[in-house]
Amino acid sequence: MSRGETVRYGPVLYRDYPIGTLGLMDDGLGVSRVFLRREGVQYDFPEGETALTFQAAAQLDEYFSGSRNCFTVPLSPHGTAFQLAVWQALRDIPYGQTRSYGEIAAAVGRPKAARAVGKANHDNPLLIFTPCHRVVGKNGGLTGFACGVEVKCRLLELEGGV
């Protein structure tokens, strides 16, 4: 996405999961946003379901039931070239495994950019589909996570990685 370009999202589909209510949105090309709905926050998105968000929700149902460990729904993340590279590196982390911020930085060719990787993780628009929860501190500790370390821990436990 170039700077200043407006992303046109479809309606949001809300679905309850063990970690909370997730909102799923698409841009007509793929799922482009998955977020954890927060209590007390007003969301101004129209609600509805599209074929893509229905497919994404079905795959998340399977993920949370333990019968799916990879996703096939089309994804359409919007970000800078660096963010897109980081998010792809996150999708390359196998289910049930973790990587450090430094390892992701090295994987995208910027070995000294661990902090920038952390920022890209924080800005990840595709919770779970782009598994930023699989990134840990260099000592293996569960460091920051935009949805809270408790949610990160629950996702890693689901995947057998903690």
> Contact 88/99 with Cβ under 8 angstroms?
no
**Buried b or exposed e, range 78-116, using 16+ CB within 10 angstroms:** beeebbebbbebbbebeeeebbbbbbbbbbbeeeebbeb
Q: DSSP string covering 116-158, please?
A: HHHHHHHT-SBTTTS-GGGEE-TTS-----TT-HHHHHHHHHH
Active site residue ranges: 132
CA distance linking residue 14 with residue 27, whole number of Å: 16
